[in-house]
Structure 1
């Protein structure tokens, strides 16, 4: 049992409570680190498998690498729907937990699983119908179209593992069990890495399947991660009880999930539109330029994924303490996250500036790819340090139920500024100018994030100080 003292309108009261979730009691720095480190490790493993995947594909041919690169916008759209929905799940479930609303916690969990299965069904149908058209819209090179279609069709039709894995990872993270998500992501990634060369090159008697083999390895890894996620929730997540007996989708709960989730989905989907547009601009220079852009996205995942892992620790902490009305813990979490995120991005900036040739050589880069890629990595990475601040601002808005603000930042950065700048610079015929669109767009994102954050502090966080709960353990 715990004793709680709280002040409300000048009156101090004490009541007895059951032991509270660690998100409301553990020192913030230790809490943020303990919740983020497992996610950062799992995200790094995820980034490793993305790089290894493309590294093996690059050994098939440069066109095979380009095919996988051009598939990225569609794959990113699937991930956007899965993770965006997960952000809504995370925010609602953590807030409900902070408010001690166990019924809503369980309803959120059941509806989360339903939404994962519904999302898979939609993308499976789209994958069967439109994969080839998607590639034909980007290039007329037959080898790229055929390889990319085979790869993407497998990844979309058998994407049930992707959607289920992410949904159950969010359920674990929402109750503070981020360590367990490290095992689900790590398991899926390791299985993918092991199976990649077997299916791509035809090891151990398997037929050599090229890029299609990479897709098969990917979906097997996702299915394994999903299976482990289901078991870990059943075995260890005792604050969440999933029961589907007589289950019917709850429109009230789904609306609450998507009130935060849809802006997050749209925000990540904007990335797909941006990538598709950039591929179209770059192919106007050469297919190698598009391949370099794809390689950049694989490499930058090593820098951004740890920050996203930090976000997965930040969101439930902020959402929980917002529900529990503890502004000081919210402020401390945000400040610490900004420091850690900026530090991570600074390391990434240094790596891209000092070792661009070594990074590109991982992908069997030709002399032409090196001549394009080295200046590309150096110019694009100028925006890294600013990006850490912007990402934390965006995640804070999502945790507090203001996903629309995050959407506005992403929309302005990627569609209003980045793509038009890249298009204008492309008209000069100088490819290096196109990469300058990234740091220019990031400056706009930082300005918007700062304005939105100041507004939220003034109108939502500061007013909580008048009735903040103060805990004492007995």
Structure 2
């Protein structure tokens, strides 16, 4: 295995973007395939088990929001420091994510233990599925600090030009969890039958294994970080720099989880099967959306590095290539789902009502991809530039000013289909605003190119 880092400021743009994005895409596809397998086995256990897992999605989004937001801030800062040849600050940044993972993990565990039932009811758990949701949530808690660490270190590895190591970590995470899932859920062989707790135990084991592997990568001699124990000491100046970009990303993801919370509450008013449908749709949609996020994750350090090195022409060309690739993937995925949604529905359940709900929800919800693809690339461009506040305003505005009102207005007119329609319509409206700001940033790049030339 070669640990040679990519040079983010030289070489043809498309191959470099693919080398950066390819492992990121593989990473998120593997992780979401594991999530899909998780949903598959729990749907086989019972529809209520799948509904209970779905209740945890907003909680997982909160964890992801905090972890990914912090990681994006750390990765963006480290990439800019590498671009500016300030390697000492980049190495110190790597040490801070271990401190932050431990502190944030402990805080989250303490909050959940203080009132698990209250939290689950807030996120939409009905009395019927509350016991199952509680089992899953409490069993999964030991893995939280490691989950934070995985998300944060992934961005650091991309920032130093080693995205393939993120992919190897994800493969380990998904392989361990996917293999253990059926054995621990159904009690195959010598394993105990743990039901929904088995899915949580499998997740915790895979998170610990992946977190230890990430630590190994960062302290290798071939790593630009060359992590040492003294790098782990808290440095509040660097932490502040991390959150100047990362905090807006956290707010973005927390607001997204609010949208998921609203979905859970509204669909819970229809039936637990409707909540289970959301679990299937979100995981199917996640396979494609996370692919787009993978391209964005590959784009972000390229933007940050080239901005730090003042290579504005290369930066602009890289963003435009990413937009074209992501849109092509989104369009192809939409056509496949529109054609084969009945087959996907049958794969998950033999319940006719759940199948019918899933087919309709998939066909409506996947329309979001057409406008989501370019929007995500531009948002990652802003994050790479250290303009987290711009990204926050654009995406938080989408959730609070457009999505939430649509979730309130559409169901009385269109029933449950109104719930599925809200996301694609909100994204279409938000796309217009994101497009305006992206074009504005393009003009800034063009003026800098002229001045430099």
Structure 2 residue aligned with 1:350:
335
1:434 is the counterpart of 2:419: yes
Q: 1:250 to 1:138 in 2, by over 3 A?
A: closer
Structure 2 residue aligned with 1:371:
356
Which piece of structure 1 moves more, 42-51 or 109-118? 109-118
Which piece of structure 1 moves more, 363-372 or 190-199? 363-372
Shift of 1:428: 3.1
Shift of 1:297: 0.6
1:261-307 CA-partner distances (Å, limit 9, x unpaired): 01111111111111011111111111111111111111111111111
Structure 2 residue aligned with 1:123:
108
Structure 2 residue aligned with 1:410:
395
Q: 1:30 to 1:140 in 2, by over 3 A?
A: closer
Question: In the alignment, is the contact (CA less than 8 A) between 1:172 and 1:237 conserved in 2?
Answer: no
CA–CA distance in structure 1, aligned partners of residues 419 and 20 of structure 2? 38
Structure 1 residue aligned with 2:216:
231
Shift of 1:429: 6.2
1:203-230 CA-partner distances (Å, limit 9, x unpaired): 1222211111100101111111111111
Structure 2 residue aligned with 1:242:
227
Structure 1 residue aligned with 2:297:
312
CA–CA distance in structure 1, aligned partners of residues 293 and 272 of structure 2? 30
Q: 1:246 to 1:138 in 2, by over 3 A?
A: closer
2:168 to 163, 179, 183: 183
Runs (4+) off by over 6 Å? none
Structure 1 residue aligned with 2:256:
271
1:204 to 179, 185, 189: 189
CA–CA distance in structure 2, aligned partners of residues 27 and 282 of structure 1? 48
CA–CA distance in structure 1, aligned partners of residues 249 and 294 of structure 2? 16
1:396 to 363, 381, 395: 381
Q: Root-mean-square deviation (CA), in Å? A: 1.8
CA–CA distance in structure 1, aligned partners of residues 58 and 293 of structure 2? 19
1:330 is the counterpart of 2:300: no
Shift of 1:461: 5.7
1:216 to 169, 177, 201: 201
Task: Name the one with the larger helix percent.
Answer: 2
Name the TM-score, length of structure 2 as normaliser. Answer: 0.95
Q: 1:282 to 1:177 in 2, by over 3 A?
A: same
CA–CA distance in structure 1, aligned partners of residues 22 and 414 of structure 2? 44
Larger Rg: 1
What are the ranges of 5 or more consecutive residues in structure 2 without an aligned counterpart? none
Name the TM-score, length of structure 1 as normaliser. Answer: 0.91
SS at match of 1:22: coil
Question: In the alignment, is the contact (CA less than 8 A) between 1:409 and 1:445 conserved in 2?
Answer: yes
SS at match of 1:25: coil
2:77 to 92, 97, 104: 92
CA–CA distance in structure 2, aligned partners of residues 20 and 285 of structure 1? 52
Shift of 1:449: 1.0
What are the ranges of 5 or more consecutive residues in structure 1 without an aligned counterpart? 1-18, 469-474
Q: 1:28 to 1:236 in 2, by over 3 A?
A: farther
Matches within 5 A, 1:36-185: 36-138=21-123, 141-185=126-170
